[in-house]
Amino acid sequence: MSLSQTCLHDEHVKLGAKMVDFAGWHMPIQYTGIVSEHKSVRERVGIFDVSHMGQIFISGDEASSFLSYVTTWDISKLADGDCRYCHILNDDGNIIDDTIVYTFDKKNFMLVPNASMISKVFNWLLSKSKNFSVKVDNKSEDYFCIAVQGPESLRLLRQYLNVSISPFKLTKLDDLIISGTGYTGEKGYEIIGPLSECLTVWQSFLDMGAIPIGLGARDTLRLEKGYLLSGTDFNGSQTTLESGYSWVIDWKHDFIGKEKLVSQKESDYASLSGILLEERGVLRPGLPVFFNGNQISKLTSGSLSPMLKRGIGLSYLDLPIGTNVNIQVRDKQLKGRVIHTPFL
Amino acid sequence: MSEIPENLSYTEDHEWVGPNEGDGVKVGITDYAQDSLSDVVFVELPNVGDTYQRGEVMAVAESVKAASDIYAPIAGKIIAVNDKLEESPELVNESPYGSGWMVVIEPSEDMSALIDAESYKNSLD
């Protein structure tokens, strides 16, 4: 199967990016270097091509009650212009994908699923929509998405479009949807629009001095903040509680998977925890985690925090914060400590 | 283009070996290797006194994305390691043939297994 390309593929190649296969897409992993790109976002402003992510539109009289049913959040409580991060669960309470719900008005919404989950989420929503008066439209191939992130990002938005945006709010400007969202923990926003405007938006931000950022730094940026990576930190067999994201559950409404969560809530379960390496080293996904000499888990995510210069990772653990663990790196067991995320 | 100094010897695994200085020879990774690795964020070095056969893994250089084994280019004993890489692994990127050196090996064999700059350059093409 050949790899999909975003509308900006040739621009990445022109900029000299190292290109890799990511979820079936030919994407830039880095342009100049992961560490310098990471720091550009923390200290200045970076732009990311995230056009591989999906856009699924939900419209109709019962759109809001439908979305409340298929997500962990009570979407009917959202006001026009609100964005909400939540999870889509299967009947067993396990996370299918995490997503942001965009509220245009009471009858029109958009979901942004992860690239590798677009068709799965779309088919799931379709199958659950039969008893609702809603239309579910997958328009992922018609839209680009560019994330602009970093302390200087809002200044560039004012300069370029003369608008401002608040966290988790959205605004429409002609064909563009601008939302105060992102995956870096910095101030910033994402711009979604028709493919015809993709290149103009990208080039305008480059011209204003934004630094192009690849998927490598996108991963270290999100990991420092403890954000989940779909398919890595959850892969179809973990609940929202286990993922450590209980705050995305509104318990006062009915939704698919709720039964499992209600019973799990009262039990002991391993949940996704941060591990900070106490010695020099780099953590990697899949490395074994030991407690009292026994392997108890593996890392789902792992890397080196470019800001802390320490190994950081995530693992499903049933251990209190502060517990000392060991991580097997090659022939050594390195000391680590269970900590609350975010790391930074 | 990768820089490949004429006065060094090489392996096809992208290690370089310096000329004899006292009891041993300096060893590091080539410009090509540091560029392929990209940002080196961690280097695991052997202990002074360790001995290695040619081709054994003696060190590891890690970038944010990947870990790469570094092989002993010749058999021998480690008589010094570059402690500066502990605090400043980026020296491997900034100066692979200079301050980014990794170890000094006291060889227990001759250098005949190594290749010269021109052969190394050809191996990259």
**Is B22 a residue whose pLDDT tops 90?**
no
A19 vs B66: CA distance, rounded Å: 15
Q: With bands split at pLDDT 50, 70 and 90, how would you rate the model's confidence at B25?
A: very high
pLDDT of A318 reads 97
% pLDDT > 90, chain A: 99
Using the beta-carbon criterion (under 8 Å), do B44 and A330 form an inter-chain contact? yes
- On whether residue B120 sits in a domain, the answer given is no
Range of the domain at B64: 22-110
Using the beta-carbon criterion (under 8 Å), do A330 and B42 form an inter-chain contact? no
What are A291-332's pLDDT values in tens digits? 999 999 999 999 999 999 999 999 999 999 999 999 999 999
What are A10-34's pLDDT values in tens digits? 999 999 999 999 989 999 999 999 9
pLDDT of B1 reads 72
Domain boundaries, chain A: 9-54+141-224, 56-121, 270-339
**Is A73 a residue whose pLDDT tops 70?**
yes
Q: Does A30 touch chain B if contact means CB atoms closer than 8 Å?
A: yes
- On whether residue B88 sits in a domain, the answer given is yes
CA angle A52, A341, A312 (to 5 degrees): 75
A270-339: which CATH number, 3.30.360.10, 1.20.1370.10, 3.10.20.30, 2.40.30.110?
2.40.30.110
- Bond before B46 cis per omega within 30 degrees: no
Using the beta-carbon criterion (under 8 Å), do A34 and B38 form an inter-chain contact? yes
**Is A42 a residue whose pLDDT tops 90?**
yes
pLDDT, average across residues A135-160: 98
Count of structural domains within chain B: 1
Chain A contacts of B44, Cβ < 8 Å?
281, 330
pLDDT of A2 reads 83
Q: How far is A301 from chain B (nearest CA, A)?
A: 12
Q: Does B84 touch chain A if contact means CB atoms closer than 8 Å?
A: no
Q: Does A28 touch chain B if contact means CB atoms closer than 8 Å?
A: no
- According to CATH, the superfamily of the domain at A56-121 is Aminomethyltransferase beta-barrel domains (3.30.70.1400)
**Is B21 a residue whose pLDDT tops 90?**
no
**Is A154 a residue whose pLDDT tops 70?**
yes
Single-letter residue type at A9: H
pLDDT of A19 reads 95
pLDDT of A1 reads 64
Which CATH number does the domain housing residue B39 bear?
A: 2.40.50.100
Scanning B48-77 for CB atoms below 8 A from A yields 60, 62-65, 67
**Is A231 a residue whose pLDDT tops 70?**
yes
CA angle A169, A174, A179 (to 5 degrees): 20
What are B41-72's pLDDT values in tens digits? 999 999 999 999 999 999 999 999 889 999 99
The enclosing H or E element of A220 equals helix A215-224
- On whether residue B118 sits in a domain, the answer given is no
Inter-chain contacts counted by CB atoms under 8 A, chains A and B = 37
Chain-wide mean pLDDT for chain A? 97
**Is B31 a residue whose pLDDT tops 80?**
yes
pLDDT of A150 reads 98
Ramachandran category for residue A32: left, alpha or beta (phi over 0 → left; psi -120 to 50 → alpha): alpha
Nearest CB partner across the interface for B64, out of A18, A34, A330: A34
**Is A260 a residue whose pLDDT tops 90?**
yes
**Is A113 a residue whose pLDDT tops 70?**
yes
Global pTM exceeds 0.90: yes
pLDDT of B19 reads 93
Which CATH class, in words, describes the domain spanning A9-54+141-224?
alpha beta
**Is A272 a residue whose pLDDT tops 90?**
yes
Scanning A177-196 for CB atoms below 8 A from B yields none
Chain A contacts of B65, Cβ < 8 Å?
29, 34, 216
Chain B contacts of A284, Cβ < 8 Å?
67
Chain A contacts of B88, Cβ < 8 Å?
none
What are A161-180's pLDDT values in tens digits? 999 999 999 999 999 999 99
For A194-199, the CB contacts below 8 A with 24+ separation are: A194/A142, A194/A143, A194/A144, A195/A7, A195/A142, A195/A143, A195/A144, A197/A144, A198/A7, A198/A8, A198/A51, A198/A144, A198/A146, A199/A7, A199/A8, A199/A11
pLDDT, average across residues B3-32: 96
Using the beta-carbon criterion (under 8 Å), do A34 and B65 form an inter-chain contact? yes
